Amino acid sequence: MSADATIAPLAPARPVDDLLAAAPELRAPLVTGLCRLGDATLILGHRVSEWCGHGPALEEDIALANTALDLIGHTQMWLGLAAQVEGRGRSADDLAYHRDAMHFRNPLLVEVPNGDIGRTLMRLFLFDAWHHALLERLVSSSATEIAEIAAKALKEVHYHLDRSSDLVVRLGDGSEESHARMQAALDLLWPYTGELCFGDDTDAALAEAGILPEPGDLRSAWDATVRETLAEATLAVPEGRNDVQRGGRQGRHTEHLGYLLAEMQFLQRAYPGAEW
């Protein structure tokens, strides 16, 4: 998963402002596209951070906190850029703390509750495999800012994928119980994974401009990583379609997201205008 997987920019990378000056109709899709990225890392980072102090081993606690920290860092960059492109004077924090569920654009996979540590790690792995494939392409985005953010994030996500795939293998091929739990986690999460690679008109417009890849183009890379790792983990790929549970990227969420936001946004909502 490297050189051949890059998107060919339509033109050499240019700053977002230049791109939008030439194609102003891309502004709204681009805000959505950037929110899809930033919301995914925000909600997943939030979920992972719920483990802080409760992990199954000290090393795991530290690693999970580190992953959450990376994801929140990516969120600051993606939502910061989304706010800038939007041009309505909002900040990354405004986007994170002052939108309601229907305006969040994350895939459903990341909002599913953590469950046990097995489900948490399986979710991270399924996400990381996509995240890594995505960032490998984004480093050659036609938008300079996006390529730069992707380059920073890719280093961290490379490590995330190494770690989560290694743990999926070890727990899948571990004890009888760990195998059963990892299989159950995979079965539960599988129907949410197809959404990651399921495009819509917004994606198509951005892909045509070479800004973000067509989600469908990530499917083969994702599939290859996932199938290889699951085979090594002695886990069975669930049968049946994996794209049944979707809608988050269009703002139709599970019941879980509302509670997550109620917690995450509490202070900003309860004390509007305060600085922290």
Q: How far is the CB of 162 from Fe ion (least distance, A)?
A: 9
Does 263 bind another protein (CB under 8 A)? Our answer is yes
Is the CB of 3 or the CB of 274 nearer to another protein?
274
Is the CB of 46 or the CB of 137 nearer to another protein?
46
> Among 115, 133, 131, which residue's Cα sits nearest to residue 48?
115
Q: How far is the CB of 112 from another protein (least distance, A)?
A: 16
HSE-up (13 A, CA, CB side) for residue 185 = 25
Contact partner at residue 88 from another protein, Fe ion, none, CB < 5 to 8 Å by partner kind: none
Stretch that binds another protein, among 11-19, 128-136, 239-247, 263-271 (CB under 8 A): 263-271
Cβ 31 vs Cβ 85: under 8 Å: yes
CA 258 – CA 254 distance, rounded (Å): 8
Number of residues lying near Fe ion (CB under 5 A): 1
In this chain, which of 32, 75, 193, 242 binds another protein, going by CB under 8 A? 75
Contact partner at residue 98 from another protein, Fe ion, none, CB < 5 to 8 Å by partner kind: none
Number of residues lying near another protein (CB under 8 A): 51
Q: How far is the CB of 50 from another protein (least distance, A)?
A: 6
Cβ 42 vs Cβ 97: under 8 Å: no
Does 89 bind another protein (CB under 8 A)? Our answer is no
CA end-to-end span of the chain:
42
Task: Show the 3-state SS of 122-161.
Answer: HHHHHHHHHHHHHHHHHCCCCEHHHHHHHHHHHHHHHHHH
Q: How far is the CB of 117 from another protein (least distance, A)?
A: 5
Question: E strands of 201-262, at which residues?
Answer: none
Binding mask 50-69 for another protein (x = CB under 8 A): x-xxxxxxxxxxx--xx-xx
Q: At what angle do helices 117-138 and 27-49 cross, to 10 degrees?
A: 150
Binding mask 148-167 for Fe ion (x = CB under 5 A): ----------x---------
Coil, helix or strand at residue 54: coil
Coil, helix or strand at residue 14: strand
Q: How far is the CB of 1 from Fe ion (least distance, A)?
A: 6
CB under 8 Å, gap of 24 or more: what pairs does 58-63 form?
A: 60/117, 63/163
Helix (H) or strand (E) holding 95: helix 92-97
**265 - beta bridge partners?**
none
The footprint of another protein on residues 143-202 (CB under 8 A) is 169-171, 173-175, 177-179, 181
Contact partner at residue 158 from Fe ion, another protein, none, CB < 5 to 8 Å by partner kind: Fe ion
Return residues touching another protein (CB under 8 A). Answer: 42, 46, 49-50, 52-62, 65-66, 68-69, 72-73, 75-76, 79, 92-93, 96-97, 116-118, 169-171, 173-175, 177-179, 181, 263-264, 266-268, 271, 273-276
